[in-house]
Amino acid sequence: MLGREFGWTVDEMRRLRPSELFSILEELKKQKLIEQYAEQKNHWAFLAAVITNGLGGIAGMFSKRKPKQVEADDFIGKDLKKAVEGLLRREKELDKLIGDAKKKGLKGPWNTS
């Protein structure tokens, strides 16, 4: 997976320390999860919402009740939504902490100058 994602050779991957490898794999898992969520929401859930709303509109022409409109998020699983929201919330918290550290002049991998 690393070779495919980054174009690394087997030799380059063997030189990674276990902690580096673990961090890279964790980040790839997060990115894949967010990518999967975006694909579902932008493609399949959107299409399902359009079809449902279209059929509901047609049915609404023959009844007095106006059908409820659905959104793309209505077709995405709750577990996936919670996982992605947790990741995004954590990223925001980390960005805030890094910003605070930069303001205080602390050194780290984000600020090596």
SS (H, E, C) the chain: CHHHHHCCCHHHHHCCCHHHHHHHHHHHHHHHHHHHHHHHHHHHHHHHHHHHHHHHHHHHHCCCCCCCCCCHHHHCCHHHHHHHHHHHHHHHHHHHHHHHHHHCCCCECCECC
The list of the chain residues with pLDDT below 50 reads none
Domain ranges of the chain: 32-103
Whole-prediction pTM value?
0.53
Q: How high is the pLDDT of residue 100?
A: 78
